[in-house]
Amino acid sequence: MALAALVSAVGLVVDDRILVGAPIWAKPFKFSLSFTAYGLTLAWMLAQTTWGRRTGWWAGNVVVLTALVEMVLVIGQVIRGKRSHFNAETAFDANLYTVMGLTVVALWAATLVIAVLLLRTRLADRATAWAIRGGALIALVGAGLGFLMAQPTAEQRAAGNLDTADVIGAHSVGVPDGGPAMPLTGWSTTGGDLRIPHFVGMHALQLLPLLLIALVLLAPRIARLGDARVRLRLVRVATVGYAGLVALTTWQALRGQPLIHPDAATLIAAGVLLAAVAAGVGAALRTAPDLVSVPAQAEPASDSKEFTA
């Protein structure tokens, strides 16, 4: 995947073709970077498992194989000058897209197996367990949101020509794909975009463990973070807050609303979520009171009149 990212980066420089409003090599570049992070993180998580190691080995190899097939097909379509996703222009294109859909289902199922193994693995540090399990479960939800894009849009259904349509499915909601978009990400600035919650959800796999690593690194400088109980509380708050963010961005996208143009309802929901997370962080940073030991009554220890507490 790192090699695919390098090839795609070269393609961005030397190939000026535009497809659906974006540089034609942008999709394989972003996909390969995402798969690189995804694979590295899953490999690290599998190394933490103490139960079902053989099953985890097979699941990890399924992830590798399906991701490889996905990227070969995406890059192959780029070379042909065709869109890889939602393409039903010809029988060949439609069959390729079907194969891609099957690989995604297999990849999701393999990740589910890994998540189950992580749930059953006993980790000594509870904060680490929360970060790994929470990240894996939210990533599964984020990956599952990708299936929404494969469904025909309301506009495509209204047209009534799904059997002959060249494109079935879309990542934009309320507007056609390929319109005005944010730089770098390519997310729509005029309508909803299901790639946003898909992206946010999947990368919980990296961000929650990275948060824990940051807390551990800061512990020598911030006394409260040296308490394992405080780190556990903070990771719990972050996990719940992150799940809320995935839900919020999904709700916003499904209403056909651009990320950068939220309405009053979205702003209120975001404010409530932010306030809840802030309150949770404040509560998590309150250290539990130290146990106060009550001295026992003195008793004669020996004829020497010495006493022990």
For residue range 49-106, what is the model confidence (pLDDT) as tens digits? 888 999 999 999 999 999 999 999 999 999 999 999 999 999 999 999 999 999 999 9
* Inter-helix orientation angle 204-218/26-47, to 10°: 60
Q: Which of 32, 147, 31, 20 is nearest to 89 (CA)?
A: 20
SS3 state at 46: helix
Residue 301 has pLDDT above 50, yes or no: no
Whether the pLDDT of residue 143 is over 60: the answer is yes
pLDDT value of residue 49: 87
pTM score, whole prediction: 0.88
pLDDT > 60? residue 302: no
Q: What is the mean pLDDT of residues 109-127?
A: 92
Length of the chain: 309
Distance CA 138, CA 200 (A): 9
List, for residues 146-181, the tens digit of each pLDDT value: 999 999 998 888 888 888 889 999 999 999 999 999
Q: What is the mean pLDDT of the chain?
A: 91
Distances (CA, A) of 165 to 27, 61, 159, 173, 283: 23, 36, 9, 18, 54
Give the pLDDT confidence score for residue 159 in this predicted structure: 85
Q: Residue 300 pLDDT more than 80? A: no
The whole-number average pLDDT for the span 233-243 is 97
DSSP state for residue 225 in the 8-state scheme: G
